[in-house]
Structure 1
Amino acid sequence: MKQVTAKKDPNTSIDEREALKKMWQIRIFEETLQELFDAGELYGTMHLCIGQEATAVGGASLLNESDWIVSTHRNHGHCIAKGTDIRSMFAEMLGKKTGTNEGKGGSMHIADLAVGNLGSNGIVGAGFPIAAGAALSAQMQGTKQVVLCYAGDGATNEGSFHEALNLASIWQLPVIYFIENNQYGMSSSIEQMVNIEKLSERGKSYGIEGVTIDGNDLSVVSNTVSKAVKKARNGGGPTLIEALTYRHKGHSKSDKLKYRSEDECRQWQEHNDPILRLEKKLLQHNEITSKEIRQLEQSTRQEMADLVASVKLDDEPTKADLWTHVYAEEKI
């Protein structure tokens, strides 16, 4: 593969070639999960973020390892971008003891404290107060840590959203509330659920800076998050970011997608795919070649296939393991 010196966007610290690699890892990880499910090898539900890779990579990958993220049921991209081991994620999904939660949590409960991943949550809106609590802890201890809290557009109608924003505002907590507005909360269009033009406008009610951005433009996402991180780390308080994006797949594995048109899906996939947009940008600036892009995709697909083959040989939890991690260990 031809080596090209990676250029960083002048306004952010993100390496766009590395970001492209990470975005392909997220997409192919999820495509592999879909194949496993279709083959009857993966049980339970899952919520794919295909089409939203820029919000994950442009956000979580900008944080320090000691910084924290709080994720949602649509969490795979956030976890990979923050540094959670992909093999361990596959193992968790396949119910293996080597998984992030020893095969007990599955898709919606991946956590990895070692890299600042405080965990995902299957309850809509539950991450908002968790993030506020983590940010309060960092503030009280003076650690300079920042919390990035991901949530979907539908979660902004939960009471936890408003309670958490109010606390974050009055205490000026180092937290960034990052709303991935993928246009639909399950099968309901966000336009039918709120009577405001931008979800970021809700920040004004609590004295919080709110901004709406193109969530499929990696540079825009990373620039915006970079500013918010710097602000939070220096005591400037919270930021509410609304990133406009689109999920290519259904809400979950059982979604028949009858609530949106094929033309709408095609328009987003063909003209606003975050990976295709980043590839086009890198090609235009001669920072990558078409051959390199295809090699990157092919090598990533092989990497994922090898990981799955390896994980399938791992041990599964035993009956005795059902009783572990139920209660906190007594400290004497």
Structure 2
Amino acid sequence: MRKMLAAVLSHVFSGMVQKPALRGLLSSLKFSNDATCDLKKCDLYRLEEGPPTSTVLTRAEALKYYRTMQVIRRMELKADQLYKQKFIRGFCHLCDGQEACCVGLEAGINPTDHIITSYRAHGLCYTRGLSVKSILAELTGRKGGCAKGKGGSMHMYGKNFYGGNGIVGAQGQVFEAYNMSALWKLPCVFICENNLYGMGTSIERSAASTDYHKKGFIIPGLRVNGMDILSVREATKFAADHCRSGKGPIVMELQTYRYHGHSMSDPGISYRSREEVHNVRSKSDPIMLLRERIISNNLSNIEELKEIDADVKKEVEEAAQFATTDPEPPVEDIANYLYHQNPPFEVRGAHKWLKYKSHS
């Protein structure tokens, strides 16, 4: 009946199908509203039960996730280009290949929850609500950047998001945090984005045990397919519920992969082969997996997804144009925004007789 009605409407309004309202009506009749999807079972540690092995994906969710992941992918590729054109200087760590982690994480928590992260955080910046313009402008050191052009790739901030620092999983601090959170039963979800390499060293060469979800010792853990956004979403919901119920912290290891090297100075192929990267791209790419799931469950089609791709490309190109033309912050602003609601104070400039006044 649904197919018949869609066909009739398509015929009747054949001369007006370019109108957005009619296109939307026909699309809603053409596609399924939702689909039940099977998920890979998570590995559990000190848990009697884990996240579900199936979940419902709605059409609206599917299109939202697909667009968000495409924005992050294209934004990171644009950052790579801007770096090579010397618009971006200094450190820059890209997360393309790991899009399912940040998008799935945001889908499983509340906007009021707090996220603290290390670098490789551009995707999390976007899912936390920062615009592509503000992210790329921060990378190029412009006034319109999310940290006023002062933070760069490693120091971005947004509402309830404290993003980027130079310390990634330093062993002493991690285990101290595990210990204190377990002692005080703090509602913390510790996440290890395991992309299989620590800078240029594979995990097998650097760790006698690669079961990172078990390294909280007394803290329960999950090992999750980090290339599947729905697996990440459901595992995050499970972990968040665990914390909110007063059970204390939990460790979540997301098995993922980065396509770029560790940083822009790392070609990423001296310690791994091109074939390895190609194999992951062709079999486990998170955007490809979501696209296949969307189409196979009739939640959308190739044509509609191509329209999203074109819209994303336009958004990122406009953001890049802004990021390369927006003014740099003046030197007089060097002391501004260091503290929140702090009385003004003087900062010495490049010469001892030059002083700049701060404001919050």
Which category describes the TM-score, using the shorter chain as reference length?
0.7 to 0.9
Which of 137, 162, 168 is 1:124 aligned to? 168
How many residues get paired? 297
Distance 1:270 1:13 in 2: 23
1:183 aligns with 196
Which of 150, 166, 183 is 1:170 aligned to? 183
1:78 aligns with 124
Find the residue that maps to 2:34 and give its secondary structure.
coil
Find the residue that maps to 1:118 and give its secondary structure.
strand
State the 1:121 CA deviation.
1.0
Distance 1:231 1:64 in 2: 14
Contact 1:60 1:69 in 2 (8 A): no
State the 1:86 CA deviation.
2.1
Find the residue that maps to 1:123 and give its secondary structure.
coil
Identity of aligned residues (%): 32
Distance 2:210 2:142 in 1: 45
State the 1:6 CA deviation.
5.1
Distance 2:176 2:88 in 1: 37
Contact 2:224 2:252 in 1 (8 A): yes
Find the residue that maps to 2:189 and give its secondary structure.
strand
Contact 2:108 2:234 in 1 (8 A): no
Asked if 1:234 corresponds to 2:261, the answer is no
Which of 265, 275, 292 is 1:280 aligned to? 292
Find the residue that maps to 1:276 and give its secondary structure.
helix
2:3 aligns with none
State the 1:12 CA deviation.
6.9
Which of 12, 19, 23 is 2:65 aligned to? 19
Structure having the higher Rg? 2
Unaligned runs of 5+ in 2: 1-22, 37-53, 345-360
Asked if 1:54 corresponds to 2:81, the answer is no
Offset from partner CA, 1:211-256 (integer Å, 9 cap, x none): 1111101111111001111121222211101111110110001102
1:105 aligns with 151
Distance 2:311 2:98 in 1: 21
Q: Pick which of 68-77 and 320-329 moved more.
A: 320-329
Contact 2:109 2:236 in 1 (8 A): no
Kindly provide the amino acid, as one letter, of the partner of residue 333 in structure 2. D
1:302 aligns with 314
Contact 1:8 1:16 in 2 (8 A): no
CA RMSD after TM alignment: 2.0
Kindly provide the amino acid, as one letter, of the partner of residue 107 in structure 1. S
| TM-score (normalised: structure 2) | 0.78
State the 1:65 CA deviation.
1.8
Distance 1:41 1:331, change over 3 A: closer
State the 1:168 CA deviation.
1.0
Distance 1:12 1:194, change over 3 A: farther
State the 1:5 CA deviation.
6.0
Offset from partner CA, 1:262-294 (integer Å, 9 cap, x none): 111111111010100011111110111011222
Kindly provide the amino acid, as one letter, of the partner of residue 177 in structure 1. F
Kindly provide the amino acid, as one letter, of the partner of residue 277 in structure 2. C
Distance 1:56 1:327 in 2: 28
Which of 285, 292, 316 is 2:328 aligned to? 316
Unaligned runs of 5+ in 1: 126-154
Contact 1:6 1:17 in 2 (8 A): no
